[in-house]
A and B are shown apart, each in its own frame.
Chain A
Amino acid sequence: MELLAFGKTGWGDELFYATLMTIAVSVTAMFIGFFFALIFTPLKLSKYKTFNLVGNFYTTVIRGVPELLVIYLFFFGGSGAIMYVASIFGYYEYIEINAFITGSMAIGIISGAYSTEVFRGAIQSIDKGQFEAAKVLGINKFVQFYKIILPQMLRLAIPNLSNVWQITLKDTSLISVTGLVEIMRQSYIAAGSTRDPLFFYSFAAVLYLLLTYVSMKLINKLEARYSRGY
């Protein structure tokens, strides 16, 4: 227990901030994922073959390649790509991107591929009559999406999105390889300096379990809220 003391003698406060970092990265990545899903879901559902191809390429590649490889691509390639873009505008200095941004982007793109699939499935399982009824009533596309399709889609999507959240949360452990101090990285540092890896990695496992447990409870509440009337 001394090892977990707050302050200078223990690792309690460090691990606490690391947990906050894990949560921050997961939430940021989840929102980046939503952003990507918002772009790629319409592409996958589009009438045009070319758009379908682009959408399918994104989800197939990201879901078929290990997360770690994607993270390495961003970690090693991220600043290079930014510098290349900057060099077009005549800026040749070295640019280093923040580990938080690189990590969130990498995890966000992975999470987005899963979210895209979830949204596509949810929209496809909405009865066609709903779209037609909205059309007959002369409701414009925008209102149709926000007031009719989205609420029904969310109800169907929440159970699967909770899976995506769990995957995203667990994937954040992988960005410890880039040096961002989240739970896994902090445990690695603590294990190295105290020579007690068993304790710290087990404690990390407990922290992750706690995060997944609490988030499941919250998501269940959300699900109940969106299932009113069913």
Chain B
Amino acid sequence: MDFDLMITSFPKLLGATVVTLKLLSASLFFGLFLGLFFAILRLNKNIFINKFAYGYSYIFRGTPLLVQIFIIYFGLGQIEYLRTTFLWVILKEPYWCAIIAFTLNTGAYTSEILRSAFQTIKPGIIEAGKSLGISNKIIFYKIQIPIAIRQSLPAYGNEIILMMKGTSLASTVTLMDLTGVAKYIISTTFKPIEVFIVAGGIYLFMTFIIHNIIKYLEKRYSFQQ
């Protein structure tokens, strides 16, 4: 056990954790909106809209995240037309490519979580709202969405942790996130176990924090209050 290496690599890894957290928060933020948008599309009665939303979530849940990042980072640059548009400013940066891939990926999972949450809302609650003369829009925003959010909290908590682990793939497109730096230190010192303990410890600590925040929110917004 090389404790000196563990101590010296800790600040480096902690610095890289900032990149991981940035990637995570950006993709979760955009992914939540994307997920909500596609969940609403899934509930649409029009079969084409419905199928389109289903296709989106099926494709992104059925393929590895690594493929999605590679298509966006290596693949899209190949299209000549894209290089001439303003999109190229974003797509040439690995940082934004990673965020786009993570957003699309987490959006697919979030849309499934929210869809099932919307579907478990008892029809009686919506009927009660209607019979009170509340408009459909307000029923949706003030009744359905809050209930759906509470219903989906446990599953969404899992998704946040999965996404946190997913951000490690950013290291494959040259970003120096926590895993990227860990790999760099391992490949220069050939001490995989020590680095794994430190980097894994940081990841576990983040998992622990996320887990507890979700637990607190679940308790706070539980129905039996």
Q: Which residues of A contact B (CB under 8 A)?
A: 60-61, 63-69, 72-73, 76-77, 80, 166, 170-171, 173-174, 176-177, 184, 187-188, 191, 195-198, 201-202, 204-205, 208-209, 212-213
Instruction: Determine the residue in chain B with the shortest Cβ distance to A212.
Output: B62
Minimum Cβ distance to chain A for residue B156 (Å): 16
Main secondary structure on chain B at its contact with chain A? Answer: helix
Instruction: Determine the residue in chain B with the shortest Cβ distance to A191.
Output: B74
Q: Is the CB of B204 within 8 A of A205?
A: no
Q: Is the CB of B64 within 8 A of A66?
A: no
For B70, B193, B196, the residue with the greatest tally of chain A CB atoms inside 10 Å of its CB is: B70
Minimum Cβ distance to chain B for residue A212 (Å): 4
Q: Please name 6 further chain A to chain B contacts, defined as beta carbons within 8 Å, in addition to the given A173-B64, A205-B59, A208-B63, sorted by A numbering.
A: A61-B204, A69-B179, A76-B186, A198-B75, A198-B79, A205-B67
Q: Is the CB of A202 within 8 A of B71?
A: yes
Docked pose: A195 CA to B78 CA in angstroms: 9
Q: A176 and B66 in contact (CB under 8 A), knowing A66-B168, A191-B74?
A: yes
Q: Is the CB of B78 within 8 A of A77?
A: no
Q: Is the CB of A69 within 8 A of B64?
A: no
Q: Is the CB of B62 within 8 A of A184?
A: no
Q: Is the CB of B62 within 8 A of A209?
A: yes
Top 4 A-B residue pairs of the complex, sorted by shortest distance between their CB atoms: A66-B168, A198-B75, A77-B192, A173-B64
Docked pose: A201 CA to B66 CA in angstroms: 10
Docked pose: A212 CA to B61 CA in angstroms: 10
Q: A76 and B64 in contact (CB under 8 A), knowing A66-B168, A191-B74, A205-B71?
A: no
Docked pose: A204 CA to B70 CA in angstroms: 10
Docked pose: A73 CA to B167 CA in angstroms: 18
Q: A67 and B168 in contact (CB under 8 A), knowing A73-B192, A77-B193, A198-B71?
A: yes
Q: Is the CB of B62 within 8 A of A65?
A: no
Minimum Cβ distance to chain B for residue A209 (Å): 5
Q: Is the CB of A69 within 8 A of B204?
A: no
Q: List chain B residues, Cβ under 8 A from A205.
A: 59, 63, 67-68, 71
Our pick among A68, A73, A187, A209 for the contact of B169 (Cβ within 8 Å) is A68
Q: Is the CB of B75 within 8 A of A65?
A: no
| Interface residues on chain B, number (Cβ under 8 Å) | 40
Q: List chain A residues, Cβ under 8 A from B66.
A: 173-174, 176, 184
Minimum Cβ distance to chain A for residue B161 (Å): 7
Q: Is the CB of B172 within 8 A of A69?
A: no
Instruction: Determine the residue in chain A with the shortest Cβ distance to B190.
Output: A76
Docked pose: A191 CA to B67 CA in angstroms: 12
Q: A65 and B204 in contact (CB under 8 A), knowing A197-B78, A204-B67?
A: yes
Docked pose: A90 CA to B196 CA in angstroms: 28
Q: A69 and B168 in contact (CB under 8 A), knowing A198-B78, A201-B67?
A: yes
Q: Is the CB of B78 within 8 A of A69?
A: no
Q: List 11 A-B contacts (CB under 8 A).
A: A64-B161, A64-B208, A65-B204, A66-B164, A69-B168, A77-B196, A170-B64, A184-B64, A191-B74, A201-B71, A205-B63
Instruction: Determine the residue in chain B with the shortest Cβ distance to A173.
Output: B64
Q: Is the CB of B76 within 8 A of A198?
A: yes
Q: List chain B residues, Cβ under 8 A from A196.
A: 78
Q: Is the CB of B64 within 8 A of A64?
A: no
Minimum Cβ distance to chain B for residue A11 (Å): 16
Q: A65 and B169 in contact (CB under 8 A), knowing A197-B70, A204-B67, A209-B63?
A: no
Q: Is the CB of B59 within 8 A of A68?
A: no
Q: List chain A residues, Cβ under 8 A from B76.
A: 198
Q: Is the CB of B203 within 8 A of A73?
A: no
